A and B are shown apart, each in its own frame.
Chain A
Amino acid sequence: MNQASKSNNTLQSNPLFELGKERLELIGKHADALMQGYLQGHVDEAAFTVQALDKLINGRILWRPDEQQPLALRPNVNDLIASLTQDERKRQINSDVGEHLDQIHTRVQSLQAARQKGDYAATEHHMQLLTERVYDMTGQFGDAIESLWHRLNTEFGFVSSLDDKILEIELAQRQLRRILDGFSIINFDDLIQLAGSDGALRKLLVSQLQARISEHSGSLLEVQKRLVLLMARFRHQQDRALLINRMSAFLRQHPNFQVGDYPNRSQVPAVVNQAHGIKAQAFVALDRAQDGYALAELARAVPREPEQGSQSETQTEGFAVAVQSLVATEQKQLAKDVEDFFIRVIESPEPLSGVDYLAEQELTWDPEIWLFQVVAEYEGLPQQSKQSFMLEKERTPKSRFNQLYIIKDVKVGMRFFGDFQAVG
């Protein structure tokens, strides 16, 4: 515990500690404006005070790429945000292996020199930097591969058009190629020699690195395979869309274009050979005794119309039912006459009187029944149609002592007649 706090103290006394912390805080403090700058490609200077701008520029967070250009995020800050947010539009893939290997070589040489001198602290320091460098390298590949997977799994959804997606796949394929090329530069024989008999170095530079690289290679090969498949699919889609667009454009431009008479060629192309549909119909047949029962069942199951039922009643009850059916027929005739009346109303420019119409048409209905039917028909109309008609009852009180009225006549006309005429 004591030792840990002591090492904490020594770390905190490192001047880098304060500076780094201050700058990280600076980023956090201006997160809103910086993110806007990230998305827009440049920052809005008005969003900061002069002091804040100075700090951000001195802090190597913002810069001015060119005197004419507005302030923007430094590339490293852009990369940081892209990597944190998995923003594939801006994420960089760094596949430069050679640089890493050079640094590793130099680091190992410094380490061995320090060790020969017996400088324990310097040896420690170089070992730490070397370890970081190796992990940086594999981590970078890991990030690159992760980015490739991410793009693949989202099917390059960060660009919208198919053409752009195909370009993005081509780019990803080139990046992948470069990473694989980078792997081939790593010569493990060299590294084994470099590590010599030092167990820790051997572990770091040979066994661990080898395991990571072979894992990454496996992953990359899988990405490569999937990219090829996705590319084939996109190309197929693109091809189809082009075919459709061009064919329809062609047909529009050549309305009289005649397609060959493929069906009557000696060799009919398979694509037009398509048999016409035939319906296999079958009917009731009584020529097989064993079907009799099943057919009878079916016949019994046929739903009967209610009228057929009343027919059998006719036979048993005779007279009463005959009157009933007579009434039904009369009722139908009445309804029809009322309907004709309404049709006349529609044609007539003025409201018509029900009683007058009855007389005029020499219909034999009792006026009371007639009026009743007219009112019933009006009331029975659907709401919408009802609104088109206007029904006025002409009524007189039966007596002074109660509220009973007798309807003497009804006048039916079209509502808003003037409007209708205007429209017509």
Chain B
Amino acid sequence: MSLLRVENLEVTLQTSVGPARAVRDVSFQLERGQSLGIVGESGCGKSMTALALMGLLPEGATTAGRVMLGEDDLLTMPENELCGVRGNRLAMIFQEPMTSLNPLHTIGAQVMEPLLLHRGLHKSEARDEAYRLLDQVGIPNAKSRLDNYPHQLSGGQRQRVMIALALSCDPDILIADEPTTALDVTIQSQILDLIEQLVSRLGMSLILISHDLGVISESVDRVMVMYGGTVVESGPTQSLFHALAHPYTRGLFASMPRLGGKRERLTTIPGTVPDLADLPTGCTFAGRCPLVTEACRAAPPPRLPVADGHEAACIHLDLATAARPSELFS
């Protein structure tokens, strides 16, 4: 049985302009030891999906569907039970290593907190364990760092502390939401290497969320591309990047400047991401898609197979894959 099974997840947020459907009909499974990447632009619902799993959605948000962690449905679990799951079986790393640590407490106190709460260690044991965790994530002089405050650490080191915190209770699933977006490239590759090593050594599953196709393609087994709150394409990383199928994914990939590229004019997708409070009834990409027809606007497209395990939600897949992206969006 899968470790995590998400079925038809829906998240609706209350905004000043009415309800916004941030996540629509998202389903996926995560096996033990597997890594899943969620990629998309801002407002595509990738972070809301993660927050829904953690039970950390903003106030007023409503959910539907099921999030099964083993036998338990996290969406219907009462808050006090959820507290036992959060940080314990599910742990999350956030984007901002500057703001996600409490500036008023020492690094030691913050790493020790889950150890005292979830693992019931004594203070001296917790301190030893905190030292071991910081050492494991590659913080130099971990012992003396325990008494430092977050402002005394660099961005990369703070993100290492966040990872140490997330790992403190041996979670089954680690959710990393843009863990390296705020970091420099050389530090980014250190942190991604670290996450990858730890995940494989500790046998955790990983959900990595990023807007960066490069980061995703180098770090995970399976990829889910989201747009306007829905999954437009998903599949094993290699096969997906080998044969991008959905017009959006193809356009997105072609619109990135690439190192060593020919400096040819970049393909652009016209328009901007849709407003979640005012989504079309049919395909969410219809407003920007060059292949759009009446049928696209009428109903959400079904997920169609592209290759083994690789699916795309588009009814014009044959047309989309026949043309080069630059022709498609010209």
Q: Do A and B bind each other?
A: no
Question: Which B residues contact A (CB, under 8 angstroms)?
Answer: none
**Could you list which residues of chain A lie within 8 angstroms of chain B, going by C-beta atoms?**
none
